[in-house]
Structure 1
Amino acid sequence: MSDESRAGAAADLLWTAWTSGERIGALPDDVRPRDDAEGFATQLAIGGHAGRTYGWKIAATTTAGQAHIGVTGPLPGPLFERFRHDPGDVLPSDDMHMRVVEAEFAYLVGADVAPDAAPDEIVAAVDGLHLAVEVPDSRFARYETAGGPQLLADCACAGRFVLGPQVSGWAEHDLSTWGTEVWINGERAATGSGGNVLGDPRNALVWVAEDLRRYGRGLRAGELVTTGTTTAPVPVGPGDEVRAAFGELGEVSFCFAG
C-alpha cells in the first residue's frame, strides 16, 4: 500500500469515528502512522472529509499537557470551518469524549509568512488577536496513550471551537502575564495566564510557523492560530454554561445542550 493510500485509509477510519461518535482503540497496523510525517499526512487527508479549514490549533503547549498525552512537544492540528461556533451558541454535548474546555488567545495572520521568516517577522505578520475557547476532542478511546503520530493523524485532538471577539489594542498588552479564568455554571473552575502557553502565546505562534515547515506548509494571510490553553483543561458536561474571562480584554460565553 502506498503512503498516500495508507494516509487515506487511516483518515477514512478516523472520520467515521468522528461522525459516528464511536471511539477506536488504535488504527490498524497496516495504516497506523509510523512517524510524525505520516501522522500529518493523515490529518491532511481528513480535510477531504471535513472540508474547509481556516487555521491551526496547537495541542500540548504546557509540560503538564505533554506529560498527560505522552509527547515531548506541542502538536499542530487544523481548525475546520464546520466545527466553528460563535459566542452565545449552544454546542452539542452528545458527541463529546474528552469533555473539557480551554481558554485561549488566537492570532489572526495578516500576511503570508515566508518559509525562512525569523521569529520577529512571524510575529509581525499578525493582524489581530481574538479571545477564544477550544473544545478539544479525540477519536481514540484512550487518547493519552495513542502516541504522537496517531494524535497528529487525529488532528491533534481538534474538536469544536468558539471564536470570540477581536481585541482592540492587542499589541500593547503583555500576554505572557495576562490572567485568564474559566467559569462553569457561575462558579470559577480554573485560573491561568498567557505564560502557560510556552511562556508567551507569541512563542506558540512562532513554534507552529516553524513546525509547519517540516511538512512543507506555512502560515497564510487570513488564517487563525489558536495558541493553546492558558489554564488546566476544565471538565464540562451536558447543560453546562461556560464563560472564559480575559480581564479587561473581554470574555467568551456559550453553553452545551442538555
Structure 2
Amino acid sequence: MAAQGSLIVTNELRELAARQWQDYRLRTPGTYFGEGYRALNLYQAYAVQAEVARLRCEAGDAVAGYKVGCIGSGVVEQFGMSGPIHARIFCSELKATGDALQHSAFANLAIEGEMAVRIGADGKIAQAFPVIELHHFVFRGVPKTLAELVANNGLNGGAVIADSAVAAPLKEWTSARVLSVSVNGKEIDSGDLWAMAGGAVEAVGWLGEDLGRYGLSLSPGELVLTGTPLGLHPVRPGDQVGVSVDGRELVTCLVE
C-alpha cells in the first residue's frame, strides 16, 4: 500500500482511483458507484480523491486550490445529504469570465454561483470574488452518498473566474448582500452571499482543519471556493450564464 499525506491508499483503492481517472477522461465519471460494489466510507473516498489527484498531476495537471461543498441549503436539499466536504480544483479547468465552454466537454454540465477567495502570502484571505463553478452533475448510486460525491471530487469540473479588477479584499465585500444567477438574462436563483454563517473566514477555517486531518494544508496563492447558498443548475448549449452581486453582473460564460 502507499500513502497520500496521512491517507493510506490500499491496492484496491489505487485500482479504483485508476478507474476513476479513466472514467473522468472518458466523461463518464464514477461508473463504479452504479454497479453495486461495496460502498466506500468517507476516509476511503478521500483516499481515492487524493490518488486521482496524484494521477492527474503526474499527467501534467496541477492543483489550483480547493472547494468547500455540500453546505448551502439549496444543494443540501437537492442532493439529500449534508456536508461539508472538500475537493480539489485543477489548473487545467480554470476559465476566465466571458469564456465559451464546450457542453460536450462535461458530463451533464451544471453550474453554481458562489464566492471564492485567494490565499495570501500570510496564509490569510487576500481577496474575494465571485465565480461560476462548473460540475459534471452525475450521481450513479442509489441513494446518493457523500462517499460518491467525495470520490468524484465534489463533481467539480472547474470554475469561471471573475476579472482581476473585480477581486477585492474581504472587507470590501462586507456590505454586499445578494448573490444571484441568471441564464439567458433571466434570474433563476438568488440568496445570501456566503453559504456558511461566518462567511469566507469560517469556510477557509473549516477547510484548513479538514485538510489537516489528511496531512494537507492551504498554500499562498491557492484558490478556495467557499460553497454556495444556492442550488446547482443544469445548462444547455446556447445558454449565457451570469453571476451577480447585488444586481451587478461580475462573471459570465457562454455554453456552446
Q: TM over 0.5, yes or no?
A: yes
User: Is 2:173 the partner of 1:173?
Assistant: yes
The TM-score normalised by the length of structure 1 is 0.83
Query: Which residue matches 2:217?
Result: 218
**Count of equivalent residues:** 242
Q: Distance in 1 between matches of 2:144 and 2:172?
A: 40
Query: Which residue matches 1:137?
Result: 136
Q: Runs of 5+ in structure 2 lacking a partner? A: 3-8
The match for 1:41 among 42, 47, 63 is 47
The match for 1:9 among 15, 22, 25 is 15
Q: Deviations over 1:148-168 (max 9, x none)?
A: 222211111111211113423
Q: Deviations over 1:195-243 (max 9, x none)?
A: 4x02223322221111112111111111110111242223311111111
Q: Distance in 1 between matches of 2:234 and 2:134?
A: 10
Q: Which moved more, 1:243-252 or 1:199-208?
A: 243-252
The match for 2:93 among 83, 86, 111 is 83
The match for 1:55 among 65, 72, 75 is 65
Over 3 Å counting, the alpha-carbon distance change for 1:168 and 1:241 in structure 2 is same
The TM-score normalised by the length of structure 2 is 0.83
Q: Distance in 2 between matches of 1:230 and 1:219?
A: 23
Query: Which residue matches 1:110?
Result: 120
Q: Distance in 2 between matches of 1:49 and 1:112?
A: 30
Structure holding more strand per residue: 2
Q: Distance in 2 between matches of 1:187 and 1:64?
A: 19
User: Is 2:131 the partner of 1:151?
Assistant: no
Over 3 Å counting, the alpha-carbon distance change for 1:184 and 1:161 in structure 2 is same
The match for 1:101 among 99, 108, 111 is 111
Q: Which moved more, 1:41-50 or 1:73-82?
A: 41-50
Q: Which moved more, 1:9-18 or 1:63-72?
A: 63-72
Q: Distance in 1 between matches of 2:212 and 2:34?
A: 26
Q: Distance in 2 between matches of 1:99 and 1:165?
A: 22
Alpha-carbon deviation of 1:134?
0.1
Q: Distance in 2 between matches of 1:107 and 1:17?
A: 30
Tell me which stretches of 4 or more aligned residues in structure 1 moved more than 4 Å. Answer: 27-30
Is 1:192–1:232's contact at 8 Å kept on the other side of the alignment? no
- Structure 1 vs Structure 2 CA RMSD: 2.6
